[in-house]
Amino acid sequence: MQATFKLATLAVAILAALGGCAGTSSNNGAPIGPALASTMPEATETPPRPTACPPAVPAAASCLTGVDSRGAIYLIAKPANWNGVLVLHAHGGPNLEAPSAQRAAEDLTRWAVMVDAGYAWAGSTFRQGGVAVRAAAEDTERLRGIFRRYVGKPTRTILHGQSWGAGVAAKAAGMFTAQTVGETPYDGVLLSSGVLAGGSRSYDFRTDLRVVYQSLCHNHPRPAETQYPLNLGLPAGAKMTQADLSARVNECLALDKPAANRTPEQQARVQTIEKVIRIPASAIHSHMSWATFHYQDISSKRTGGASPFGNMGVTYAGSPDDAALNAGVARYSADPAAYQRFAADTDPTGKIPVPVLAVKWISDPTAFVELDSYFKSVMDRGGSGERLVQTFTTQGTHSYISSPTYPTLVTALLAWIEQGAKPTPASIAAACPANEARFGAGCSFDPGYTPAALESRVPARNRP
């Protein structure tokens, strides 16, 4: 992993360079069409300003920062010996807070390996917090225009999406093509640790987690509190902090303690969730947070106050008493209009006109490997299946697999673009060790792995 640094100090420096004027805006969740090139011309953007690079970035590199015309903060890094390739980054999350310079610095620090490999890097914070995929895709495309106008015209542009940002990149690659912007904006797409089944399917297991947790714990909400449909996350305007949620989860599951220090009842609940939802104990709190606060953002700001999530038709399995569990969990139907609206904003279409290379750690507890199986089916249905190569690793983390992994993938993607040499999982696995001397150990590609269908992990359900 890249070196760490004092984010707070760096954030102050970047904000000072920006003059402290990071504005925000919102589309209130309404899908916006692919007319960015005509409605947001490059000439409306102010030039970026020089700023100090994060310490993880090679010392000879130069960095620029700015705020785009819609309020998104961005950060650009250019190597001293730039090879002409731009890696345009769409970050994970999403954050629910307003854009921050700290977020941009964190992203560049994590992906400093791209700059070390000779590529320019540019990343937007996105104009708003929250689960708005098309808006984030527009912000990413806007940054491409800023880079071309004020930094240089790349010989190649690789669109890289990480985690939730992989969904942003998949959406952007379909929204912005030669037909919409008058040129081929992206030569290739790299998707890493991707949440790739769109909002209509990627979040289903979090709905399952929320109802199973409540059937076991009865504290979110508590019996004496106002009751509400759990698939809303929280009602609009309801106030709860991360600390409040942590206290409730630990009260019931003691996730803040080693398994040996939990009561037998707490450990039994943890094991039930692990077996039914098929996530490790270490991931329960994160997914509960997303199923609370992200769901609230979606239902209250993106889908007109209704929920796009449901669990009707789900059969839960793996508990000590599945019959009692299925009889006792709360059941919800996804609101049809909310479902369609959220799917339109977040779901990939599979219509990507350039090469796409994807990588996923097989044991990723945040973005299940089975999501990639679904994404392949989407690409096949969209007519882009032959333009997709998927790779899988046996080691890593959701946030960062390993430093040699990413340069290996970008090199393979560029060879595919420029020479027509379509890579295979085996050829990528064979090429990776050559990068370990420069970028450190970490190659673990498994060229023979194929993920199972998404419904083998997340139960099927009724859909609008």
Closest by alpha carbon to 119, among 76, 149, 150? Answer: 76
The Cα–Cα gap between 144 and 178 comes to 14
Instruction: Find where tokens 């004027």 sit.
Output: 21
Helix (H, G, I), strand (E, B) or coil at 332: coil
User: Residue 397: is its pLDDT beyond 70?
Assistant: yes
Residue 340 predicted with pLDDT over 60? yes
Q: What is the band of 3 on the pLDDT scale with cuts at 50, 70, 90? A: very low
Place of tokens 């902090």: 241
Percent of the chain with pLDDT over 70: 91
Sheet containing 156-162, strands listed edge to edge, beginning at the edge strand earlier in sequence: 49-51, 62-67, 73-78, 120-124, 85-90, 156-162, 188-192, 356-361, 388-393
pLDDT tens digits, one per residue of 219-251: 999 999 999 999 999 999 999 999 999 999 999
Q: Cβ–Cβ contacts within 10 Å for residue 39, how many?
A: 10
Burial class (CB in 10 A: 0-12, 13-18, 19+), 367: buried
Please state, in angstroms and rounded to a whole number, the distance separating the CA atoms of residues 217 and 214: 5
- What is the average pLDDT value for the chain, to the nearest integer? 92
* Burial class, 437, CB count within 10 angstroms (exposed 0-12 / middle 13-18 / buried 19+): exposed
Retrieve residue 108's tokens: 């560049």
Can you give the residue range of the structural domain that contains 234? Answer: 201-343
CA 359 to chain centre: 13
Rounded to the nearest 10°, the torsion over CA 85, 58, 66, 87 is 20
Give the model's pLDDT for residue 44: 85
Question: Is 152 among the domain residues?
Answer: no
Q: Of residues 4 and 438, which shows the higher confidence score? A: 438
Average of pLDDT values for 151-165?
98
Domains: count for the chain? 1
Residue 90 CB coordination number (10 Å): 30
The reported pLDDT for the residue numbered 4 is: 34
Domain assignment present for 292: yes
Q: What is the DSSP letter of 83?
A: -
242 lies in a domain?
A: yes
Write the secondary structure of 260-288 as one string of H (helix), E (strand) and C (coil): HHCCHHHHHHHHHHHHHHCCCHHHHHHHH
409 within domain boundaries? no
329 CB-side CA count, 13 A:
27
More confident residue, 243 or 31: 243
pLDDT at 9 over 90: no
Q: Is residue 348 part of a domain?
A: no
In which band, very low, low, confident or very high, does the pLDDT at 30 lie, cut at 50, 70 and 90?
A: very low
The reported pLDDT for the residue numbered 42 is: 60
C-beta of residue 45 within 8 angstroms of C-beta of residue 117: no
User: Which amino acid, 429?
Assistant: A
Q: How confident is the model at residue 26 (pLDDT cuts 50, 70, 90)?
A: very low
Q: 261 lies in a domain? A: yes
Q: Does residue 106 surpass a pLDDT of 90?
A: yes
Q: Examine the pLDDT at 366 and tell me if it is beyond 70.
A: yes
